[in-house]
Amino acid sequence: MKKSGLLLNAVSILILLTFYGCSGSGGEKAEPQAASGLPAAWKVIGPGGGGAQFLSTIDPQDPNHVFVRCDMTGAYVTYDGGKSWRMFNLRTVVQDFEFDPGNPNTIYASNSGLYRSDDRGVRWELVYPDPAKGVVERMVGDHADQYLETRDGQRSGRIEKVRVDPADGKRIYLGMPAPMVYSPGAEPRRSGDSVLVVGTDDRGASWRELGRVAGQEILAIFPGSWDGRPEELTVFTDRAAARISIKDGGTTYLKLPEESIQAVEGGKAAKGSVFYLLTPLKESGGTVSGGIYRSGDDGQSWTRLNSGLLDDFPVTNRLPRFAALAVCEGDPAVVYLSCSQYGARTKEGSERHFGIFKTADGGQHWSWVYRASSETVFSANYSGGWMGKSYGPDWGEYPLALGVSPTNPDICWANDFGCTYRTLDGGGSWEQEFSNTLPDESVSTRGMDVTTCYGVHFDPFDPQHIFISYTDIGAFHSFNGGESWFHAIQGVPREWHNTCYWMVFDPEVKGRAWSVWGSGHDLPRPKMFRGGNFDRFVGGVAYSEDAARSWRKSNEGMPPNTVSTHILLDPQSPSDSRTLYVCGFGKGVFKSMDGGKNWVNSSNGLGPNLNAWRLVLLPGGRLILLVARGLENRQVVDGALYASDDQAASWKKLDLPEGVNAPNDLVYDPSDPQRMYLSCWPRTVERTERGGGLLRTEDGGATWKRVFEEDAHVYAAAVDPQNPATVFINTFNSAAFRSEDRGETWHRLQGYNFKWGHRPVPDPHHPGMLYLTTFGGSVFYGPATGVPGAFEDIVDPTFTMWYGKYE
């Protein structure tokens, strides 16, 4: 297959420029210094925030210049203190950021490789592994886990920590744990019992191994130059601490006060390094051990510092739990501490509190600077934006990570399961920094979007009304074409709020709509099965008569634990008694003939795997059901295809294409419904992906032809309604693609490079424009032909990217 080399047409360019105006790719306002000279790019739409965020890293010389990463592959940079963000993508999840203390323009980011930017985070280049060694990108596993492989067969590992020597910016140190081992149905595990530290003396031109330290996770690397020992490093893992000689690799272990370490942070005081350890609290025989420890002598001795942290114990008989800590590097007497659980006595007994503690005297005394429960912010000093308004304080939970300015202890950023927020006054007040609230109470993103979305849905009576079905944040809709958004969860049972998998508007009755929901999110990814007992999740159908402004539960006849992943309306059914079909994941198919008031299970003929995922209604009345691949007792259960020619009264199994066991999506050509496209998720066979990609049938599924790569994780396809020969696919392989000859040849949609892509959706109101939903980056909107020559974060990569053949 080869690319077809298309150019933007004039209509697409005009629409793109109209949509963007003068804004950049990330937020309402772009920072000229960051985006200067970059061509127009895809725009991310949505409310902002929504998923787990981490690792706020603050420029020591400019507190408004901050980096954040998420666990869904996106990374984000702001140049204006969070008023706007630019998302960038470095092939997979970033593990660490590090500023060069001696060069304000240079920052490093690590994941499967080490990347460097010399222009404050705009352009990035691969530094490690050495691109000169013929580095090739590989992707394998259910999430298309990315790694880099050199010409001699060496595979990159995950780089968890980066440290630049403050005395010499040419010296850089990397910490890498033992590689992960993934087995079907099992939790990932480490393949070894030590972490590796490597270093360079020439800014990455050459690297050498410095030493190994016992442990499975590397927590911190501290430069010896802080203590007048420039030829040493102090390295902390989850269960050890050691000094490593840069000259000869000699390793000296330090005695730790506890066996298990959660986190380590530190700074430079007048007399040298100051380290803080966070360890789990434990109680035995009425004695509490663990907590916070401090060392002011480079790890030779430790002092326990829990004053003020245990005030409500043992009154509530619940030990606190702490999640993260952050130390001001230039003033290590100031430390912020994230608390995930704190038992507080109430009239009714006790309740869980969470929030942030702070010390300004090196841990001698701790006090709350942000404290909340599920319903109340007791400190009354937090503005949480739309998320706090819709859900209350506990939806985002406790801070997962904290970041303090290295030069100003009053500036601290926090990240949780939905928000990023900061204080500029030492914890006196906290303000969210991911979303704008407009005068009409609608919201718009600032460019930090961390959400999985399943579809973009359009109101047939209002071209400005757009609906997005989301994981983690339910659903949002816009009445101004996507410029701003309202939360669309009113009336939906609280226990369903996590995920809206799909919705459908009635094509004949204005305002009427149905949506399907579930507390089990991220389906059909098998991670949802690893805990067993999928029946613990709940879900069902909701109904609206006011264009999704409000909903009411409408699942009579369904079990309450029916996580519902798709809903289909038969447009030929009477408008006063619509026929609807719903996929109940693990439950099969449900049917209603009275507009959703009552449902009956319609799974006759289906096999033991009832992971009903998606339904397709062909113009002739045939129904096709896609059953997702699953796990049972940690064993893979193959997916399947079924057809029904009697309105779901019975189902007949269809043959899947050879080698395919995970059908994920099916679309048909409206000009010839016998022509269909099957999107497939691959399986891993000896570190090679098999059975994925895209297949096409010309005879209604009797025979299939593969038309896109077998190792591609193709989530979904779309046929252009204006020109059915044009087909789009979106993938977990950092790319979306377009074909103008029904899949015979392809080219990549340049300018879009989000790692985990979901669904392509042609814009029905603006021909030539395309929505791309994602697993973790909200919705991208841009020209359906891509943006030729668009800047894509990594400068002139000399390593071979997975999609290189389509460039």
User: pLDDT per residue over 71-129, tens digit each?
Assistant: 999 999 999 999 999 999 999 999 999 999 999 899 999 999 999 999 999 999 999 99
d(CA 161, CA 217): 10
CA torsion sign for 545, 551, 554, 555 is positive
CA separation, residue 283 to residues 290, 350, 364 (Å): 9, 19, 21
* pLDDT above 60 (res 185): no
d(CA 9, CA 117): 33
Cβ within 8 Å of residue 447, ≥6 positions away: 24, 25, 26, 27, 28, 44, 48, 76, 78, 84, 85, 86, 87
The answer to whether 312 and 351 have CB atoms below 8 angstroms apart is no
Strands 430-432, 382-383: pairing is parallel
**DSSP 3-state of 496:** helix
448, 449, 447, 453: which is closest to 759 by C-alpha?
453
User: pLDDT per residue over 451-489, tens digit each?
Assistant: 999 999 999 999 999 999 999 999 999 999 999 999 999
Residue at token pair 């020597």: 165
pLDDT at 184: 55
| Tokens representing residue 305 in the block | 């510092």
Residue at token pair 């490597």: 198
pLDDT at 110: 98
Which DSSP state fits 596?
T
**DSSP 3-state of 53:** strand
**DSSP 3-state of 745:** coil
Q: 184 or 307: whose pLDDT is higher?
A: 307
Average pLDDT estimate for 636-662: 97
Strands (E), 559-644: 564-569, 580-584, 588-592, 600-601, 612-617, 623-627, 630-632, 635-637, 640-644
Determine the residue type at 402. L
* pLDDT-derived band at 345, boundaries 50, 70, 90: low
CA torsion sign for 114, 116, 120, 121 is negative
Burial track 122-147 (b if 16+ CB lie within 10 A, e otherwise): bbbbbbbbbbeeebebbbbbbbbbbb
Q: In the β-sheet with 303-304, what is the strand arrangement from edge to edge? A: 263-269, 272-284, 287-295, 303-304
pLDDT at 182: 53
| Tokens representing residue 132 in the block | 């000169």
Which DSSP state fits 535?
G
**Cα distance from N-terminal residue to C-terminal residue, the chain:** 11
Dihedral angle over CA of 772, 775, 779, 783, nearest 10: -30
758, 762, 711: which is closest to 735 by C-alpha?
758
d(CA 39, CA 787): 8
d(CA 380, CA 337): 18
pLDDT at 26: 38
* pLDDT-derived band at 803, boundaries 50, 70, 90: confident
* CA max distance for the chain: 82
Average pLDDT estimate for 655-681: 98
Point out which residues pair with 390 in neighbouring strands: none
* pLDDT above 60 (res 29): no
Average pLDDT estimate for 264-289: 94
User: pLDDT per residue over 750-780, tens digit each?
Assistant: 999 999 999 999 999 999 999 999 999 999 9
d(CA 484, CA 159): 38
Average pLDDT estimate for 306-331: 88
pLDDT at 587: 97
* pLDDT-derived band at 191, boundaries 50, 70, 90: low
d(CA 335, CA 363): 7
CA torsion sign for 571, 574, 576, 579 is negative
* pLDDT-derived band at 348, boundaries 50, 70, 90: low
* pLDDT above 60 (res 278): yes
* pLDDT above 60 (res 34): no
Strands (E), 698-776: 705-708, 714-719, 727-731, 736-739, 747-748, 757-762, 769-774
* pLDDT above 70 (res 36): no
The answer to whether 634 and 184 have CB atoms below 8 angstroms apart is yes
Mean pLDDT of the chain: 92
pLDDT at 527: 86
Lowest average pLDDT, out of 55-69, 307-321, 605-619, goes to: 307-321
Average pLDDT estimate for 263-279: 96
Q: 2 or 705: whose pLDDT is higher?
A: 705
d(CA 769, CA 766): 6
User: pLDDT per residue over 546-564, tens digit each?
Assistant: 999 999 999 999 999 999 9
* pLDDT above 80 (res 15): no
**DSSP 3-state of 475:** strand
pLDDT at 12: 33
The answer to whether 518 and 500 have CB atoms below 8 angstroms apart is no
Point out which residues pair with 568 in neighbouring strands: 581
Cβ within 8 Å of residue 764, ≥6 positions away: 458, 721
